[in-house]
Amino acid sequence: MPDPSRPAVPPEERIPPTPSSAVTVFGDRLEVAEHYVALLATTGIDHGLVGPREAPRLWERHVLGCGVVAPLLGPSSTLADIGSGAGLPGLVLALARPDVTVTLVEPLHRRVIWLERAVTELGLGNVTVHEGRAESLWTHRTFDVVTARAVARIGVLAGWCLPLVAPGGRLLAIKGRSIEDELREDAAALTAAGADAWQVEQLGSSVLEQPATLAVLEVGDRTPSPVPDRRTPAKRPGAKRSTSTRRRPR
């Protein structure tokens, strides 16, 4: 009996054709982008990093939707992509912009292994993979730009990511169309997390049916300090810590 969790289509047949708009986004890096799409459609789906139904829209919804962000990156800047998953958007930006030094941050070991293989196979010398949560880099590293897509709502994301943004740097969060509401609802959390200013940008309207929507959060002249997690219950004097309680790194 066929395993219903396994896609029926053979891996090579899942690779979607390259749309003509891809050259506008990737220019002379198009071949590397095509190689990456082939990896997503084959081992990416087989290893469960991408859903099998995503195969036909890998270009439009995923790779082009991330690639249109590349012009926002400064020359030779440093970038951390938080919760990279299968490399979206971090790997796409690294292949589009070889001058940018990219760190993919991902806590799930299985995904890290896949990302490391993809980086080697694509010959990307400007990428390293960090196995861990964003919080594990707090106070160790900062980056000119931090990116994230589909990781958490904006107030939570700001708490995790802004302590990683260098003075004068930005968090670019690729979001859906409801981002205006999220920004309004989470405004207090954004300020508490150290965002100096924020706005919404739409990118890629000439190449995408649905342009990419970004929340851009700006940091002033100091990297924000981590905000204590308000979801962690206050410690009562004399109370014993449960062994399952996870402490956030300082």
Residues forming contacts to ligand SAM in the complex (CB under 6 A) are: 82-86, 88, 105-108, 111, 133-134, 149-151, 160
End-to-end Cα, the chain, rounded Å: 51
Least distance from ligand SAM to the Cβ atom of residue 16, Å: 16
Distances (CA, A) of 33 to 30, 64, 80, 177, 185: 5, 10, 19, 26, 37
Do the annotations mark residue 152 as ligand-binding?
no
- Between 85 and 226, CB nearer to ligand SAM: 85
Least distance from ligand SAM to the Cβ atom of residue 32, Å: 19
- Between 114 and 198, CB nearer to ligand SAM: 114
Least distance from ligand SAM to the Cβ atom of residue 28, Å: 25
- Between 14 and 149, CB nearer to ligand SAM: 149
Do the annotations mark residue 149 as ligand-binding?
yes
What one-letter code names the amino acid at 205?
S
Task: Label residue 83 exposed, middle or buried (CB < 10 Å: 0-12, 13-18, 19+).
Answer: buried
Do the annotations mark residue 115 as ligand-binding?
no
The candidate with the shortest Cα–Cα distance to 33, out of 47, 48, 15, is 15
- Torsion, CA 19, CA 171, CA 149, CA 44, rounded to 10: 70
- Between 108 and 227, CB nearer to ligand SAM: 108
- Between 27 and 48, CB nearer to ligand SAM: 48
Q: How far is CA 129 from the centre of its chain?
A: 12
Asked whether the CA dihedral 82, 87, 91, 92 is positive or negative, the reply is negative
Do the annotations mark residue 106 as ligand-binding?
no
- Between 83 and 169, CB nearer to ligand SAM: 83
Least distance from ligand SAM to the Cβ atom of residue 221, Å: 26
Distances (CA, A) of 28 to 101, 203, 242: 19, 20, 55
What one-letter code names the amino acid at 175?
K
Least distance from ligand SAM to the Cβ atom of residue 161, Å: 9
Least distance from ligand SAM to the Cβ atom of residue 11, Å: 19
Do the annotations mark residue 239 as ligand-binding?
no
Q: For residue 102, list its beta bridge partners.
A: 79, 127
Instruction: Give the separation between CA 134 and CA 163, rounded to whole angstroms.
Output: 9
Residues in the annotated binding site: 83, 88, 134-135, 149
Residues in the annotated binding site for S-adenosyl-L-methionine: 83, 88, 134-135, 149
